[in-house]
Amino acid sequence: MKKRILLSLMSFFAMTAMWANITGAYSLYLSADANGKQGEEATLTLNLKNRNAIATFEATLTLPEGVTFVDGSATLLDARVPEGAEPEFSATVNEDGTVTFAFALEGVALTGTDGAVATFKVAVDMAATVGENTLTLSNQKMYEVNSAEHKFEATEFKWTIEEGEVAILGDVNADGEVTIADFVAVLNAMAGAEVPGEPDVNGDGDVTIADAVKVLNIMAGATE
C-alpha cells in the first residue's frame, strides 16, 4: 500500500514537473532596453518562446493607465522569419484600449525557439504613474505548422516609468528659462528653422509674430 501511494505521489510530481516544463516552453513576453519617461515615446519588444515549430500566434496587450499604443508603430523583425516567407502581422487597437497582435506564416514556422519577433512604440502621458508599472499579454494562442494549438496564461512585464520634465511655456530654445533668445527662436521658427522647444507659444496652431509677442509678455511676467 505504501509503495502504491509512493508511486502515485512520484507520478503526480513527475506530471506536475512535466506540465510546468511544457507551459514554460511557450510564451509571448515583453522586454525593453530602457525605462519609460513621462511625456515621451518608448520602444518595447515582443518576444516569443516556443518549444516546437510555431507558425501562428496571437495575444492581447493591456497597458497601464497613461500609456497608449502608438498606432502604426508595430514592426515585424526579420531575424526569426524564414528567408522567402511572406508573413502576415498586425497590431489592432481595440475599443477598450487593448492591442491585439496577430502573426501568421503559411506552411512554415518561425526559426529558433526564443527571441524577439516584433517591436512597437507606446506614448507615455505626463499623468502616467511614476515607478513600476505592469503590462500584460493575455489570451495567448500559438499554433504549430501541423495546427496543434497551445494556450497559456498571461505574462506580465514590470516596466519602470520615470518622471518627465515639465515644459516651460515660452522656452522655445529649451534651455530651461524664458529670455530674449526664445523671442529670436520664434522668429527663426517662422523662417522655417528647426527649434528644440515649442514655437507655437500661444497654442493657436500657427507660428506667427503673435508667438514672439507672447514670449515678451511671459518675460514681463504676464500670466495670460
Query: What residue segments make up the domains of the chain, in order of their start?
Result: 26-162, 167-224
3-class secondary structure, 86: coil
3-class secondary structure, 117: strand
- Do 26-162 and 167-224 have matching folds? no
167-224 to CATH, choices 1.10.1330.10, 1.10.2020.10, 1.25.40.10, 3.20.20.70: 1.10.1330.10
Residue pLDDT tens, the chain, 224 long: 544 544 443 443 333 333 334 446 889 999 999 999 998 999 999 999 998 889 999 999 999 999 999 999 999 999 999 999 999 999 999 999 999 999 999 999 999 999 999 999 999 998 899 999 999 999 999 999 888 888 888 999 999 999 987 778 888 998 889 999 999 999 999 999 999 888 999 989 999 999 999 999 999 887 66
26-162 to CATH, choices 3.40.50.970, 1.10.287.370, 2.60.40.680, 1.10.1740.10: 2.60.40.680
> Residue with C-alpha cell 506530471?
15
- Residue 39, Cβ density class (10 Å: 0-12 exposed, 13-18 middle, ≥19 buried): middle
The three grid cell numbers given for residue 186, joined into one nine-digit string = 520664434
CA dist list (Å): 93 to 46, 60, 68, 99, 223: 16, 10, 10, 4, 40
Phi, psi of 84 (to 5 degrees): 90, -10
The three grid cell numbers given for residue 38, joined into one nine-digit string = 513621462
Cβ-contact 105, 53 below 8 angstroms:
no
The three grid cell numbers given for residue 224, joined into one nine-digit string = 495670460
